[in-house]
Amino acid sequence: MIEIDMDSLIKLVEEKRPKLVLVTCPPGIRLKCIEIITGLSNTYNFDAIFLGESCYGICDLAESEASFIQADLLLHIGHNSALKKAGKMTYFIEAYDNISLIPVIEKALPLIKMYKKIGLCTIGPHLKKLDEARDYLQELGFFVYIGDSVPPLQKGQVFGCNYSTCEAIMPYVEVFLFMGSSRFHAIGLYNFLEKPVFMLDPYTLEVVPIEQDALKIKKRLIFNFYKAVDAKSIGIIVGLKEGQFNMTAAFKLYKELKFLGRKVYLIAMKDISNDKLNAFPDIDVFIETACPRIGEDFFDKPVLSLQYGLKLVEYLKGQKF
């Protein structure tokens, strides 16, 4: 069951005394947020607007929407991090799932028994259960490592684009256990560190060695890269979400690729979808400078991340891949 950090929420509302609050959160906890914020709005006499747009990560701020509707407080609920505030009016409120991690670890034991040194990591909802998981494994004789907080990451936390906590403990670890139901995060971890990773899903009790999935994605990224090498026209996408906005990188790619003889277009977009990309039929390949993981989704045309876009420039200048 999801629990929202009510103490921080009430303290913030009492301190700010808002009149109009914009609320954003991941879809999975939206119902819970509506229930809680509606209750609070009656007690503290404010109006609330719930943002019906995507909210994939801490990068998904909605400050421009908040200022457009003249909200005086923006609550971003459920993307836990070491930050409490961002921008001019965004306050992060944490949410946790109280499901135990022990049953899925028990299930994983036959698969991990050949390892001695284990790295543990997870995403926001399970952070409070990580120490209990470590203690359980240690009692069984494993050496267990959890990376310290590297802001904006809390201790043991990973984002889809940030694995610094795991990078720090990598030299001591033989295998990583990613606690959670997100293949996306486990795949990112494997491809970033190239160490064995198991995804342990506390809801379905599935234990998944992630290597095959991760390698399939890597192959597709490399295939897309070589398609981009032959592309005549390239669209550089500037992400319009505040936490993903990177105009400097987009312009750098734009200028370099133009210099290298490609037809290049700059395109601005908030959410990147197949339908939106297909509305540019003359463009062969896209490079997105927003979220480094978007290129792993399935699109009709190749979509490269900024990282692969920069590699493309180097490759076209004659350097090896």
**What would the two tokens of residue 226 be?**
């070589």
Residue indicated by tokens 């995403």? 123
If one asks whether residue 295 binds ligand SF4 (CB under 6 A), the answer comes out as: no
If one asks whether residue 57 binds ligand SF4 (CB under 6 A), the answer comes out as: yes
If one asks whether residue 315 binds ligand SF4 (CB under 6 A), the answer comes out as: no
**What would the two tokens of residue 9 be?**
């929420």
Q: Which is nearer to ligand SF4, 142 or 159 (CB)?
A: 159
* Residue of 181, 188, 197 whose CA lies nearest to 119: 197
274-293 positions binding ligand SF4, by CB under 6 A: 291, 293
Contact yes or no for 3/96 (Cβ under 8 A):
yes
For residue 165, which phi and psi values (nearest 5 degrees)?
-65, -35
Contact residue for ligand SF4 among 157, 244, 289, 305 (CB under 6 A): 244
Q: Smallest distance, Å, CB 205 to ligand SF4? A: 26
For residue 21, which phi and psi values (nearest 5 degrees)?
-115, 130
If one asks whether residue 58 binds ligand SF4 (CB under 6 A), the answer comes out as: yes
Span near ligand SF4 by CB under 6 A; candidates 46-54, 57-65, 109-117, 194-202:
57-65
If one asks whether residue 225 binds ligand SF4 (CB under 6 A), the answer comes out as: no
Span near ligand SF4 by CB under 6 A; candidates 52-60, 63-71, 278-286, 310-318:
52-60
| Rounded Cα distance, 191 and 193, in Å | 6
Torsion of CA 49, 57, 280, 302, to 10 degrees: -160
3-state secondary structure of 161: coil
Contact residue for ligand SF4 among 160, 202, 302, 309 (CB under 6 A): 160
Number of residues counted as binding ligand SF4 (CB under 6 A): 10
Give contact residues for ligand SF4 (rule: CB under 6 A): 56-59, 159-161, 244, 291, 293
